[in-house]
Structures are given as C-alpha cells and as structure tokens.
Amino acid sequence: MTVPRAIRTLGLVHIYRSEGHDVAALSGVDLSVDAGEVVGLLGPSGSGKSTLLALLGGLFRPSAGKIFVGDHELSALSPAELDAFQARETSLMLQGAGRNLVPYLTVRENVEFAAAQARRLGAEVASVDQGLELVGAADFADAPLAQLSQGQLQMAALAVAMAPSPGVLLADEPTSALDRVARERIVAALLRVNRERGTTVVVVTHDPDVAARLPRTVTIRDGRIGGEGRSGQEYAVVTADGFVPLPVHIRETLPPGTLLRIEAAGEGFLLVPEVKGEPGQD
C-alpha cells in the first residue's frame, strides 16, 4: 500500500537550450516537502514550477543539484531503477487530462494499465475499484474516454495516477480548463487522496482558489523559491546561501538599487531603506 515519501531538493539548477540560447529554468531551488504533506507550487508562467515538477517526477535530470524522494536520490538511479521508481513510488499527472490516458482504453482499463506495471514490480497496490472510488471515478469507469467531460477525464487521469498507490503524487495544473464544480471535485479528490492514503501531493497551479485550499504553497519566481504560504500566511524563505527574496508587494515599492539596512527588532528584523544622498539617515 501507499508509503508516503518526503521530497527534498538541494541547490537544484536546470538549464535548457532554446533557439541556441541557454535558459536557466531553475537557479538553485532548495525545497523540502514532508511525507504526507500537500504542497502547492505557485508562480507566474515560465517561473520554472512545471520544470521543478518534471524533475521531481524523474522526467529528466537536473543540470546541478540533488533531488531526494524518500530514500532515492534521483540522479543516482539507473534507467531501470528510474522506471521502477516511476511505476511504484511517484506518479506524475501531466497538464491536460488526455495526455495521461491511453485514448482507446476505458477509465478502468487505463487504471489497470497503470497498476499492472507496479504490481509486476512487486508493489502492493489498491484494487482498481478502490482507486476509482477514492477519486470519485467509479460511475464512469467503463465508459469510453470520448464520452467523458473534461472534469471526468481529469478525475480519470487522477485515478490512473493513483493506480500504483504511489508515495508521491505530482499534479501539473490539474484544474486548468475546468469549470468551478469540476475544479472543486478535483481539489477534493486530491485532498482525499492525501487524507486517506497519506500520499504526498505536490500540485502546480495558477488558480488562487485552488491555492487557497492547500495547506502549504511554495511560490517559484525566476527559477527560485520566492516565498511560501502556510495556512494563509505568506513567508519569505531564506535560501541555503542566505538570500531572502522579498515578497512581491514589498519589492514593488523598492526600485532596483535600493539600499536596505537590516536591524534586529525584538524577535524579528527590521528592513530600513536608505534615502539616496543621505546615508545614515533614518
């Protein structure tokens, strides 16, 4: 059955080539997700959150840094070990439900297809019906995919992702292009999965409503962790090399080149901008 896994990244860097230029998608990401935790990855388009999710899913290797999922250091895995890891330990739900499904199989058959490999590798997986019940896809399990709505397809994709009873579920924009009701059902299903199976869930989302439903969010900005939210409270995160990205609303008030004086103030710290031409003035 499901064994929740913790996730940890250390100085994760990923550079890819686009039209002859090197582009840094991630520029040193240190992230820890506890086993059984639900985390939302937020950030603007191109910030690197989907890249981070793909790296966590083992789709490609990072340019630098390390990724630990449970006991596995992903970069050290052989291709066969990586296949086994993807079959049993981690499930990645791609954006767009159809991309997670074999189009000519029913939902049940898709779930079985995903479960079979994990079972073959010795994993204890929940029954297909249990999986379908868990995500709420039992009602349309035997219908052809072509007859399903977008919401049902997304539920089906989630059922497939959960078929091997993975320790980690990585979902990329699971609610995009869905109406409100469908979005609610998906979020509920994700939280149910976490609640009932203990699966660690990492969700990439743009949707503030979805983010608001998640207990922890991590914002990725310019390839770095730009902040974190816990129970509605936003935090800046100190990186391993001591950098602290300012929250967006603070940064908007500080033009580039602004000098800040950091002073201890009781249990906290005070950031005091220096006025140009008058150093030392408060």
**Is residue 243 within the footprint of other proteins (CB under 8 A)?**
no
What are the counts of helices (DSSP H) followed by strands (DSSP E) for the chain?
8, 13
Q: What is the C-alpha to C-alpha distance for residues 178 and 240, in angstroms, rounded to an integer?
A: 38
Q: What is the C-alpha to C-alpha distance for residues 173 and 57, in angstroms, rounded to an integer?
A: 15
**Is residue 105 within the footprint of other proteins (CB under 8 A)?**
yes
Q: What is the C-alpha to C-alpha distance for residues 47 and 233, in angstroms, rounded to an integer?
A: 21
> Between vectors from CA 143 to CA 140 and to CA 145, what angle results, nearest 5°?
105
**Is residue 128 within the footprint of other proteins (CB under 8 A)?**
no
Query: Which residues in the 31-70 window bind other proteins by CB under 8 A?
Result: 54, 57, 59-60
Q: Which two tokens stand for residue 182?
A: 């469908």
Least spacing, CB of residue 110 vs other proteins, in Å: 8
Q: Which of 47, 86, 194, 219 binds other proteins (CB under 8 A)?
A: 86
CB 68 within 8 A of CB 243: no
Least spacing, CB of residue 247 vs other proteins, in Å: 32
- Given the rule CB under 8 A, which of 86-94, 182-190, 241-249, 267-275 is the region that contacts other proteins? 86-94
**Is residue 13 within the footprint of other proteins (CB under 8 A)?**
no
**DSSP symbols for 197-239:** H--EEEEE---HHHHHHSSEEEEEETTEEEEEEETTEEE----
**Is residue 256 within the footprint of other proteins (CB under 8 A)?**
no
Least spacing, CB of residue 226 vs other proteins, in Å: 24
Site string for other proteins, 139-178 (x = CB under 8 A): ---------------------x---x------------x-
CB 162 within 8 A of CB 195: no
**Is residue 118 within the footprint of other proteins (CB under 8 A)?**
yes
Strands of the chain, DSSP E: 7-18, 21-33, 38-42, 64-69, 72-73, 90-93, 168-172, 200-204, 216-221, 224-230, 233-235, 260-265, 268-273
For other proteins, the closer CB: 54 or 187: 54
Q: Which of 23, 32, 34, 102 binds other proteins (CB under 8 A)?
A: 102
Q: Which of 5, 49, 72, 88 binds other proteins (CB under 8 A)?
A: 88
Least spacing, CB of residue 176 vs other proteins, in Å: 10
Chain contacts with other proteins (rule: CB under 8 A): 54, 57, 59-60, 79-80, 83-88, 91-92, 94, 96, 98-105, 109, 113-114, 117-118, 121, 160, 164, 177
